[in-house]
């Protein structure tokens, strides 16, 4: 087996030496281990349901793949495809609390990453494990409110949080344990394996990583290559053209990076130069490129809170060039945007603003569809007090209406906006 440390993939306990019981060669080359389809399987988009499943509601995740969920290119931002359907955020009227996110064991709070687990894998029925279709959220702060020291992930079931993963002394496949913290964003592979972008225990991201965790909470890899520390965004390409890739943001230098995951050891491709970013923001965390949406034409959309822009990176799975991308939109009503999802009906981009607690819908051609205040708390843009939004995910309900879920740090909840 190759020297895994040379690729920044660490199967170890904290800062100790490599485990004496490494993962087997079969484990490292088996796509299913990493949450990816096998070579003879049909490629599934893990962050959305199939067209047939749209009868019961199509799910797209933050950093999602645009697929056949009743929408294609970003052209359908009119009121509805019919007189009774809500197809964009301007037609959403009801805001309801889904659940608290506070960890019931250690009190971790401050919800950040938000995603639906895919429905195409078989769950094991164990309550402490991620199950198909779970709405999963991470807690960024510990019980004392210290940012980047949160370590827990909750599945929100029946109006309550159920812990499904802790990053403290997590069991590593092959032996040993590893500890990290500060999950910013996550993206699921098709078998329920979760790829997590961690800022790490200090707010500058220098101890961050990308962690790969199976639904049972076993850590398959912790990627500590210098190109992927400072985890601040995560997205999956859905197996475009048979190539498996995840995208992350390294906030220490403001770059977007592709993790080529078709084979092990993984390799890395830096896609952008250093984009606008700052070491701190009103909320205390860095700001810069963060939320990502992957579209089925292989375009990666990236939102940036440091300069209020959205860029598009074409050929994101295959390019070997470094590019600043094409500007899709810049300026108001973006106000320190953080994470982003995709409207499953028309392909529009839906962004969470940190500086005014608004969500904003923008077409991929740069037209503002609308804005909606989802938390009326005033935001102090100097101190960050009152800033509540971070994670965001869009779905459709059984009637084909748009629903948007978002994290609200002001009261440690996930809420849903619906017609």
Assess whether pLDDT exceeds 90 at residue 25.
no
Distances (CA, A) of 79 to 76, 93, 364, 391: 8, 13, 17, 25
Tokens encoding 174 = 């092959």
Q: What percent of the chain has pLDDT over 70?
A: 80
Q: What is the pLDDT of residue 329?
A: 98
When pLDDT is averaged across residues 62-89 and rounded to a whole number, the result is: 51
Q: Is 304 helix (H, G, I), strand (E, B) or coil?
A: strand
What is the b/e burial string over 347-369, where b = at least 16 CB atoms within 10 angstroms of the residue's CB? bbbbbbbbbbbbbbbbbbeeebb
Q: Is 112 helix (H, G, I), strand (E, B) or coil?
A: strand
Q: How far apart are CA 290 and CA 364, in angstroms?
A: 17
Q: Kindly report the number of other CB atoms within 10 A of residue 104's CB atom.
A: 13
Q: What is the pLDDT of residue 61?
A: 38
Q: What is the mean pLDDT of the chain?
A: 85
Q: What is the pLDDT of residue 83?
A: 60
Assess whether pLDDT exceeds 80 at residue 340.
yes
Distances (CA, A) of 340 to 7, 217, 294, 300: 29, 26, 11, 12
Of the two residues 64 and 254, the one the predictor is more confident about is 254
Q: Band of the pLDDT at 34, cuts 50, 70, 90?
A: low
Assess whether pLDDT exceeds 50 at residue 41.
no
pLDDT in tens, 127-168: 999 999 999 999 999 999 999 999 999 999 999 999 999 999
Which structural domain range is residue 397 located in? 4-418
Q: How far apart are CA 302 and CA 333, in angstroms?
A: 16
Tokens encoding 314 = 């074409």
Q: What is the pLDDT of residue 129?
A: 98
Q: What is the pLDDT of residue 281?
A: 77
Of the two residues 27 and 107, the one the predictor is more confident about is 107
Q: What is the pLDDT of residue 77?
A: 40
139 within 8 A of 103, measured Cβ to Cβ: yes
Strands 326-330 and 194-198: unpaired
Q: pTM of the prediction?
A: 0.85
Q: Is 191 helix (H, G, I), strand (E, B) or coil?
A: coil
pLDDT in tens, 110-131: 999 999 999 999 999 999 999 9
Q: How far apart are CA 412 and CA 26, in angstroms?
A: 41
Q: Band of the pLDDT at 36, cuts 50, 70, 90?
A: low
Assess whether pLDDT exceeds 70 at residue 74.
no
Q: The domain that contains 100 carries what CATH number?
A: 2.120.10.30
Tokens encoding 1 = 């087996």
When pLDDT is averaged across residues 189-217 and rounded to a whole number, the result is: 96
When pLDDT is averaged across residues 215-234 and rounded to a whole number, the result is: 97
When pLDDT is averaged across residues 275-284 and rounded to a whole number, the result is: 84
When pLDDT is averaged across residues 332-348 and rounded to a whole number, the result is: 98
Q: Band of the pLDDT at 285, cuts 50, 70, 90?
A: confident
Longest dimension (CA), the chain: 63
Q: What is the pLDDT of residue 57?
A: 35
Q: What is the pLDDT of residue 284?
A: 75
Q: What is the pLDDT of residue 221?
A: 97
Q: Band of the pLDDT at 84, cuts 50, 70, 90?
A: confident
Q: Is 177 helix (H, G, I), strand (E, B) or coil?
A: strand
Q: Could you give the number of structural domains in the chain?
A: 1
When pLDDT is averaged across residues 18-41 and rounded to a whole number, the result is: 42
3-state helix, strand, coil in the chain (%, to 5): 5, 35, 55
The region of weakest confidence among 56-65, 100-109, 213-222, 337-346 is 56-65
Q: What is the pLDDT of residue 400?
A: 97
Q: Is 365 helix (H, G, I), strand (E, B) or coil?
A: coil
pLDDT in tens, 317-335: 999 999 999 999 999 999 9
């Amino acid at each position: 087996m190759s020297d895994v440390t040379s690729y920044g993939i660490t199967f170890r306990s904290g800062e100790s030496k490599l485990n004496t019981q490494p993962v087997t060669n079969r484990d490292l080359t088996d796509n299913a281990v990493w949450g990816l389809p096998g070579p003879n399987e049909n490629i599934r988009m893990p962050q959305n349901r199939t067209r047939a499943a749209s009868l019961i509601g199509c799910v797209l995740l933050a950093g999602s793949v645009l697929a056949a969920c009743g929408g294609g290119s970003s052209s359908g931002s009119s009121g509805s495809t019919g007189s009774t359907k809500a197809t964009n955020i301007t037609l959403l009227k009801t805001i309801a609390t889904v659940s608290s996110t506070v960890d019931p064991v250690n009190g971790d709070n401050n919800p950040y990453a938000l995603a639906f687990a895919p429905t195409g894998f078989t769950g094991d029925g164990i309550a402490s494990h991620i199950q198909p279709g779970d709405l999963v959220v991470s807690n960024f702060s510990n019980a004392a409110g210290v940012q980047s020291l949160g370590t827990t992930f909750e599945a929100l079931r029946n109006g309550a949080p159920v812990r499904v993963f802790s990053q403290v002394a997590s069991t590593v496949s092959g032996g040993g344990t590893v500890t990290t913290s500060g999950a910013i964003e996550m993206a699921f592979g098709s078998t329920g394996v979760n790829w997590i972008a961690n800022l790490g225990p200090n707010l500058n991201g220098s101890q961050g990583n990308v962690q790969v965790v199976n639904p049972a909470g076993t850590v398959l890899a912790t990627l500590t290559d210098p190109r992927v520390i400072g985890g601040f965004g995560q997205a999956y390409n859905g197996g475009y053209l048979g190539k498996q890739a995840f995208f992350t943001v390294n906030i220490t230098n403001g770059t977007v990076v592709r993790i080529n995951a078709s084979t092990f050891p993984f390799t890395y491709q830096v896609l952008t130069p250093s984009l606008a970013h700052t070491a701190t923001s009103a909320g205390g965390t860095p700001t810069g490129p963060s939320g990502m949406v992957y579209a089925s034409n292989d375009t990666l959309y990236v939102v940036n809170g440091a300069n209020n822009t959205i860029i598009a990176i074409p050929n994101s799975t295959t390019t070997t060039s470094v590019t600043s991308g094409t500007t899709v939109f810049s300026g108001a009503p973006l106000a320190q945007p953080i994470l982003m999802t995709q409207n499953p009906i028309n392909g529009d981009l839906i962004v969470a603003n940190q500086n005014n607690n608004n969500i904003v819908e923008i077409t991929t051609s740069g037209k503002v569809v609308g804005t909606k205040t989802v938390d009326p708390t005033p935001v102090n843009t100097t101190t960050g007090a009152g800033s509540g939004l971070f994670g965001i995910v869009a779905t459709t309900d059984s009637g084909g209406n748009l629903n948007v879920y978002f994290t609200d740090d002001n009261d440690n909840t996930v809420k849903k906006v619906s017609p």
